Amino acid sequence: MSETAQLDQWQKITTLEEIPILGARVIRAKVGDVAIFRNSENEVFAILDQCPHKGGPLSQGIVHGKTVTCPLHSWNIYLASGCAVAPDEGCTKSFEVKVESGVVWLNREELQRTHG
Amino acid sequence: MRKQKLVMIGNGMAGVRTIEELLKLDSELYDITIFGAEPHPNYNRILLSPVLAGEQTLEQIVLNDLDWYKSNGVNLHLGKTITKIDRQERTVTANDGTVESYDRLLLATGSLPFILPVPGNDLPGVIAYRDIKDTNEMIDVATRYKNAVVIGGGLLGLEAANGLALRGMKVTVVHLAEWLMERQLDQTAAELLQKSLEEKGLNFLLKTSTEALISNAEGDRVGHIRFKGGLEIPADLVVMAAGIKPNTSLAESAGLHCQRGIVVNDTLQTFDPRVYAVGECASHRGTAYGLVAPLFEQAKVCANHLAEHGIGRYEGSVTSTKLKVTGVDLFSAGNFMGGEGTEEITLADPIGGVYKKLVLKDDRLVGACMFGDTADSTWYFKLMRDEQSVAEIRDTLMFGESNIGDVGHQGHNKAGGMTDADEVCGCNGVTKGTIVKAIREQGLFTLDEVKKCTKASSSCGSCTGLVEQVLMNVLGTDYSATPRKKSICGCSDLSHEEIRQAIRTGHLISQEQVRNELSWRTPNGCATCRPALNYYLISTWPHEARDDPQSRFINERAHANIQKDGTYSVVPRMFGGLTTPAELRRIADVAEKYKVPTVKVTGGQRIDLLGIKKDDLPAVWKELNMPSGHAYGKSIRTVKTCVGDEHCRFGTQSSMKMGVELERMLFGMYSPHKVKLAVSGCPRNCAEAGIKDVGIIGVESGWELYIGGNGGIKTEVAEFLCKVKTDEEVREYSGAFLQLYREEAWYLDRTVHYLARVGMEYIKQKVVDDAESRKTLYERLLFDLKDAPDPWKDFERAGVDVRQFKTIPIVEVGNV
Q: Each residue of B164-189: b (16+ CB within 10 Å) or e?
A: bbbbebbbbbbbbeebbbbebbbebb
**Mean pLDDT taken over chain B:** 91
Q: What is the pLDDT of residues B13-34, one digit of tens each?
A: 999 999 999 998 888 999 999 9
Our CA-based measurement puts residue A45 at a distance from the nearest CA of chain B, in whole angstroms, of 15
pLDDT value of position B478: 60
Which is more confidently placed, B123 or B421? Answer: B123
Looking at the domain assignment, is residue B348 inside a domain? yes
Looking at the domain assignment, is residue B23 inside a domain? yes
Our CA-based measurement puts residue B604 at a distance from the nearest CA of chain A, in whole angstroms, of 23
Distance CA B125, CA B148 (A): 10
List CB contacts (< 8 A) between A57 and chain B.
Answer: 562, 566
Looking at the domain assignment, is residue B312 inside a domain? no
List CB contacts (< 8 A) between B810 and chain A.
Answer: 11, 13, 27-29, 111
- Nearest by Cα to B523 from B532, B534, B535, B514: B514
Query: Does A16 contact chain B (CB < 8 Å)?
Result: no
Cβ within 8 Å, pair B807-A64: no
Q: What is the pLDDT of residues A4-47, one digit of tens each?
A: 555 578 999 999 999 999 999 999 988 889 999 999 999 999 99
pLDDT of B606 over the 80 cut: yes
pLDDT value of position B514: 96
Cβ within 8 Å, pair B808-A28: yes
Query: Which chain A residue's Cα is nearest to B523?
Result: A65
pLDDT value of position B456: 87
Looking at the domain assignment, is residue B317 inside a domain? no
Distance CA B124, CA B705 (A): 75
Query: Does A106 contact chain B (CB < 8 Å)?
Result: no
Type and span of the H or E element at B152: none
Q: What is the pLDDT of residues B564-573, one digit of tens each?
A: 999 999 999 9
Q: What is the pLDDT of residues B498-509, one digit of tens each?
A: 999 999 999 999
Domain end: B512, B534, B552, which one?
B552
CATH number of domain containing B749: 3.30.413.10
pLDDT value of position B326: 67
Please report the number of interchain residue pairs, chain A to chain B, with beta-carbon separation below 8 angstroms. Answer: 90
Q: Are residues B456 and B589 in the same domain?
A: no
Asked if CATH classification 3.40.50.2000 holds for the domain at A3-103, the reply, yes or no, is no
**Residue B602 phi, psi dihedral angles, 5° rounding:** -90, 170
CATH number of domain containing B803: 3.30.70
In one-letter notation, the amino acid at residue B132 is I
Q: Which residues pair with B55 in a beta bridge?
A: none
Number of compact structural domains in chain B: 7
Query: Which chain B residue's Cα is nearest to A36?
Result: B808
Domain boundaries, chain A: 3-103
pLDDT value of position B483: 52
Indicate which of B808, B815, B816 best probes the interface with A, i.e. most A CBs within 10 Å of its own CB: B808
Query: Which chain A residue's Cα is nearest to B554?
Result: A60
Query: Does A4 contact chain B (CB < 8 Å)?
Result: no
Cα B187 vs. chain centroid, distance in angstroms? Answer: 31
The DSSP string of B384-436 is HHHT-B-GGGGGGGGG------SSSSTT---GGG--TTSEEETTTTEEHHHHH
Q: Is residue B86 helix, strand or coil?
A: strand
Contact B104, B91 (CB under 8 A): no
Residue B259's alpha-carbon distances to B281, B282, B720, in angstroms, are 10, 9, 55
Q: Is residue B267 helix, strand or coil?
A: coil
Distance CA B80, CA B99 (A): 11
The whole-number average pLDDT for the span B583-594 is 98
**Mean pLDDT taken over chain A:** 90
Q: Dihedral sign for Cα B446, B448, B449, B454, please.
A: positive
ipTM above 0.95, yes or no: no
Distance CA B153, CA B173 (A): 6
pLDDT value of position B251: 96
Q: Are residues B224 and B149 in the same domain?
A: yes
Type and span of the H or E element at B491: none
Q: Are residues B95 and B208 in the same domain?
A: no
Residue B384's alpha-carbon distances to B364, B756, B787, in angstroms, are 7, 15, 45
Q: Are residues B390 and B454 in the same domain?
A: no
Query: What 8-state DSSP symbol labels residue B765?
Result: I
Query: What 8-state DSSP symbol labels residue B550?
Result: G
Q: Are residues B603 and B748 in the same domain?
A: no
Query: Does A57 contact chain B (CB < 8 Å)?
Result: yes
Distance CA B80, CA B244 (A): 22
Q: Which residues pair with B237 in a beta bridge?
A: B148
Nearest by CB to A20, which of B452, B550, B808? Answer: B550
Q: Is residue B32 helix, strand or coil?
A: strand
How much of chain B, in percent, has pLDDT values that exceed 70? Answer: 96
Which is more confidently placed, B319 or B256? Answer: B256
Query: Does A115 contact chain B (CB < 8 Å)?
Result: no
Q: Are residues B164 and B211 in the same domain?
A: yes
- Nearest by Cα to B313 from B301, B296, B297, B300: B301
Query: Does A25 contact chain B (CB < 8 Å)?
Result: yes
Q: For B50-81, what is the HEC assignment?
A: HHHCCCCCCHHHECCCHHHHHHCCCEEEECCC
Interface of B to A at Cβ within 8 Å reads 452-453, 458-459, 522-527, 530-531, 550-551, 553-554, 557-558, 562, 564, 566, 801, 803-804, 807-811, 813, 816
Which is more confidently placed, B613 or B427? Answer: B613
pLDDT value of position B395: 85
The whole-number average pLDDT for the span B300-315 is 88
CATH number of domain containing B153: 3.50.50.60
Q: Which of B230-234, B358-362, B461-465 has the lowest mean pLDDT?
A: B461-465
Our CA-based measurement puts residue B451 at a distance from the nearest CA of chain A, in whole angstroms, of 10
Cβ within 8 Å, pair A23-B813: no
Nearest by CB to B524, which of A65, A69, A111? Answer: A65
Query: Which chain B residue's Cα is nearest to A10?
Result: B813
Our CA-based measurement puts residue B70 at a distance from the nearest CA of chain A, in whole angstroms, of 19
pLDDT value of position B78: 95
Q: Crossing angle of helices B447-454/B464-475, nearest 10°? A: 110
The whole-number average pLDDT for the span B757-781 is 95
Contact A14, A36 (CB under 8 A): yes
Query: What 8-state DSSP symbol labels residue A70?
Result: -
In one-letter notation, the amino acid at residue B741 is Y
Q: Are residues B151 and B83 in the same domain?
A: no
Cβ within 8 Å, pair B562-A57: yes
Looking at the domain assignment, is residue B120 inside a domain? no
- For B381, the domain range is 329-399
The whole-number average pLDDT for the span B555-565 is 95
Looking at the domain assignment, is residue B792 inside a domain? no
Cβ within 8 Å, pair A13-B810: yes
Q: Which residues pair with B258 in a beta bridge?
A: B262
Q: Are residues B451 and B542 in the same domain?
A: no
Q: Crossing angle of helices B377-386/B464-475, nearest 10°? A: 100
List CB contacts (< 8 A) between B813 and chain A.
Answer: 7, 11-12
pLDDT value of position B317: 79
Cα B479 vs. chain centroid, distance in angstroms? Answer: 11
Distance CA B305, CA B268 (A): 9
Cβ within 8 Å, pair B527-A64: yes
List CB contacts (< 8 A) between A11 and chain B.
Answer: 810, 813
The whole-number average pLDDT for the span B151-162 is 92
List CB contacts (< 8 A) between B458 and chain A.
Answer: 74
Contact B288, B281 (CB under 8 A): yes
pLDDT confidence of B402, banded at 50, 70, 90? low
pLDDT value of position B814: 43
Distance CA B612, CA B489 (A): 34
- The Cβ of residue B359 has, within 10 Å, a number of other Cβ atoms equal to 24
Our CA-based measurement puts residue A67 at a distance from the nearest CA of chain B, in whole angstroms, of 9
Our CA-based measurement puts residue A28 at a distance from the nearest CA of chain B, in whole angstroms, of 6
Domain end: B444, B478, B512, which one?
B478
The whole-number average pLDDT for the span A58-81 is 95
Q: Are residues B237 and B136 in the same domain?
A: yes
Residue A77's alpha-carbon distances to A19, B539, B816, in angstroms, are 19, 30, 32
Q: Which of B226-230, B305-309, B462-466, B483-487 has the lowest mean pLDDT?
A: B483-487
- The Cβ of residue B422 has, within 10 Å, a number of other Cβ atoms equal to 15
Q: Are residues B46 and B159 in the same domain?
A: no
Q: Is residue B188 helix, strand or coil?
A: helix
pLDDT confidence of B404, banded at 50, 70, 90? low
pLDDT of B482 over the 60 cut: no
Q: Are residues B625 and B644 in the same domain?
A: no
Task: Please state whether B776 falls in left (phi above 0), alpha (psi between -120 and 50) or beta.
Answer: alpha
List CB contacts (< 8 A) between B550 and chain A.
Answer: 20-23, 62-63
Q: Is residue B677 helix, strand or coil?
A: strand
pLDDT value of position A114: 65
Q: What is the pLDDT of residues B340-357, one digit of tens each?
A: 899 999 999 988 889 999
Type and span of the H or E element at B192: helix B187-199
Indicate which of A17, A64, A78, A88 best probes the interface with B, i.e. most B CBs within 10 Å of its own CB: A64
Peptide bond into A87 cis (omega under 30): yes
Q: Which residues pair with B305 in a beta bridge?
A: none
Contacts 24+ apart (CB under 8 A), B388-397: B388/B364, B388/B757, B389/B363, B389/B364, B389/B759, B390/B360, B390/B363, B390/B364, B390/B365, B391/B363, B392/B759, B392/B760, B392/B761, B394/B345, B394/B360, B394/B363, B397/B345, B397/B358, B397/B365
pLDDT of A116 over the 60 cut: no
Indicate which of A60, A76, A78, A112 best probes the interface with B, i.e. most B CBs within 10 Å of its own CB: A60
pLDDT of B810 over the 90 cut: no
Query: Does A98 contact chain B (CB < 8 Å)?
Result: no
Q: Are residues B41 and B142 in the same domain?
A: no
pLDDT of B685 over the 90 cut: yes
Our CA-based measurement puts residue A98 at a distance from the nearest CA of chain B, in whole angstroms, of 16
Cα B363 vs. chain centroid, distance in angstroms? Answer: 24
- Nearest by Cα to B236 from B222, B226, B225: B222
The DSSP string of B274-332 is TEEE-GGGEEETTB---SHHHHHHHHHHHHHHHTT-----------EE----TT--EEE
Cβ within 8 Å, pair A27-B803: no
Type and span of the H or E element at B472: helix B464-475
pLDDT of B5 over the 60 cut: yes
Contact B231, B135 (CB under 8 A): no
